[in-house]
């Protein structure tokens, strides 16, 4: 079964972006390559088992088991040693990616308190977009009463767009709610 957002991309978004940017071939239209969900916590320095709690919630939200991320270098001020596990991340591709994005755009983002849209200026210059969430409890898959550790996460959208304006148009057409005014 093809995800709803993927069908919408093929039937509505591709023709809209082709008309807007004047692509001659449908393969020139930007597409989502992957979505990376990443979270890091300073509490993992004192107790590594915190990452198991966070990993369980990330697995429920994304539908995929996360892998641990390690410290790349030692920082003595924060008592971090090189190779110390500090967080978890998941890379989503294909149908799981489209299903996660659909849930994020349509179900989770309206549950954010005082939500006016995501920052429209968080692009990296090459078509990638990163946004941050303050807590994981906005996802309907998680029961708020069973959440043991509240944490935030960074979500990065990697697209095949060459410029930020193409990536912004792609994400807007797919339903990412950007904040108005910029």
What are the sequence ranges of the domains in the chain? 32-116+133-159
**pTM exceeds 0.75, yes or no:** yes
Please give the helix or strand (H or E) that residue 112 lies within, else none.
none
- Per-residue pLDDT averaged across 55-63, rounded? 91
Average pLDDT, the chain: 89
pLDDT for res 75: 82
Pull the structure tokens for residue 122.
């968080």
CA-based nearest residue to 52, from 93, 85, 79? 85
CATH architecture under which domain 32-116+133-159 falls: 2-Layer Sandwich (3.30)
* Separation between Cα atoms, residue 80 and residue 76, nearest integer Å: 6
Looking at the predicted structure, is the pLDDT value of residue 175 above 70? yes
Place of tokens 């008309």: 19
List all residues 6 or more positions away from 96 whose beta carbon is below 8 Å from its beta carbon: 62, 63, 64
Which of 23-27, 47-51, 76-80, 141-145 reaches the highest mean pLDDT? 23-27
CA atoms within 13 A of residue 21's CA, in its CB half-sphere:
23
């Amino acid at each position: 079964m093809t995800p709803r957002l993927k069908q919408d991309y093929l039937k509505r978004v591709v023709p809209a972006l082709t008309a807007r940017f004047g692509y001659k071939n449908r393969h020139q239209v930007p597409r989502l390559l992957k979505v990376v969900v990443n979270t890091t916590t300073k509490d993992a320095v004192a107790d590594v088992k915190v990452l198991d709690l966070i990993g369980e919630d990330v697995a429920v939200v994304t539908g995929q088991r996360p892998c641990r991320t390690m410290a790349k270098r030692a920082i003595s001020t924060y008592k971090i040693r090189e190779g110390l596990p500090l967080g978890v991340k998941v890379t989503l591709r294909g149908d799981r990616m489209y299903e996660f994005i659909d849930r994020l755009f349509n179900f989770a983002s309206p549950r954010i308190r005082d939500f006016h849209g995501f920052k429209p200026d968080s692009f990296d210059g090459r078509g990638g977009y990163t946004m941050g969430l303050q807590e994981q409890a906005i996802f309907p898959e998680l029961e708020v009463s069973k959440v043991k550790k509240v944490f935030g996460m960074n979500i990065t959208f990697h697209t095949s767009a060459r410029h930020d304006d193409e990536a912004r148009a792609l994400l807007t057409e797919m339903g990412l709610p950007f904040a108005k005014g910029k």
